[in-house]
Amino acid sequence: MIPQEIAETIVDPKAYAQETPVDEAFTFLRREMPLAQAEPEGVEKFWAVTKQIDIREVERNNDLFHNGDKSATLTTIEADNKVREMMGGSPHLVRSLVQMDNPDHMDYRRLTQSWFLPQNIRKLEPRIREIAKGFIDRMADMGGTCDFARDVAFLYPLHVIMEILGVPEADEPLMLKLTQELFGANDSDVNRSGEETQETDDFLASIQQTIGDFITYFNDLTEKRRASPTDDLSSVIANGSIRGEPLDHFAAMSYYIIAATAGHDTTSNTTAGGLWGLCENQDQFAKLKANPGLIPNLLEESIRWSTPVKHFMRSATRDTSLAGADIAKGDWMMLCYPSGNRDEDVWDDPFKFRVDRETNKHVAFGYGAHVCIGQHLARMEMRILWEELLPRLESIELNGTPKRMESSFVCGPKTVPVRYKMQ
pLDDT at residue number 409: 96
Mean pLDDT for 221-226 is 96
pLDDT at residue number 418: 98
CB 215 within 8 A of CB 224: no
Quote the mean pLDDT of the chain. Answer: 96
Q: How confident is the model at residue 143 (pLDDT cuts 50, 70, 90)?
A: very high
Q: How confident is the model at residue 358 (pLDDT cuts 50, 70, 90)?
A: confident
Question: Model confidence over 47-56: pLDDT tens digits?
Answer: 999 999 999 9
pLDDT at residue number 97: 96
Sign of CA dihedral 156, 162, 166, 172: negative
Q: By C-alpha distance, which of 241, 234, 269 is closest to 110?
A: 241
The count of C-alpha atoms lying within 13 angstroms of the C-alpha of 175, restricted to the half-sphere facing its C-beta, is: 30
Mean pLDDT for 207-232 is 96
Q: CA Rg, the chain, in Å?
A: 21
pLDDT at residue number 310: 98
pLDDT at residue number 159: 97
pLDDT at residue number 157: 97
SS3 310: coil
pLDDT at residue number 224: 97
Taking 90 as the threshold, does the pLDDT of residue 376 lie above it? yes
pLDDT at residue number 347: 95
Q: How confident is the model at residue 421 (pLDDT cuts 50, 70, 90)?
A: very high
Alpha helices by DSSP H, listed for 47-117, are 52-60, 77-86, 104-113
DSSP element (H, E) containing 5: helix 4-9
Q: Output the domain CATH number for residue 114.
A: 1.10.630.10
- Give the whole-number percent of the chain exceeding pLDDT 90: 97
pLDDT at residue number 412: 96
Where in the sequence is the domain holding 73, given as residue range(s)? 4-422
At position 361, the amino acid (one-letter code) is K
Taking 80 as the threshold, does the pLDDT of residue 153 lie above it? yes
pLDDT at residue number 158: 97
From 73-77, 186-190, 277-281, the region with the lowest mean pLDDT: 186-190
Question: Beta partners for 311?
Answer: 336
At position 173, the amino acid (one-letter code) is P
Question: Model confidence over 382-391: pLDDT tens digits?
Answer: 999 999 999 9
Q: By C-alpha distance, which of 16, 45, 2, 25 is closest to 311?
A: 16
CA 15 – CA 234 distance, rounded (Å): 37
Cis omega (within 30 of 0) for bond into 103: yes
At position 250, the amino acid (one-letter code) is F
Cis omega (within 30 of 0) for bond into 34: no
Taking 90 as the threshold, does the pLDDT of residue 196 lie above it? no
Mean pLDDT for 23-27 is 98
CA 64 – CA 139 distance, rounded (Å): 48
pLDDT at residue number 198: 83
pLDDT at residue number 88: 97
pLDDT at residue number 328: 98
pLDDT at residue number 359: 84
Taking 80 as the threshold, does the pLDDT of residue 197 lie above it? no
pLDDT at residue number 266: 94
Total-model pTM: 0.96
> What total of structural domains would you count in the chain?
1
Angle subtended at Cα 90 by Cα 207 and Cα 226, rounded to the nearest 5 degrees: 70
Question: Model confidence over 403-412: pLDDT tens digits?
Answer: 999 999 999 9
Question: Model confidence over 91-125: pLDDT tens digits?
Answer: 999 999 999 999 999 999 999 999 999 999 999 99
pLDDT at residue number 227: 97
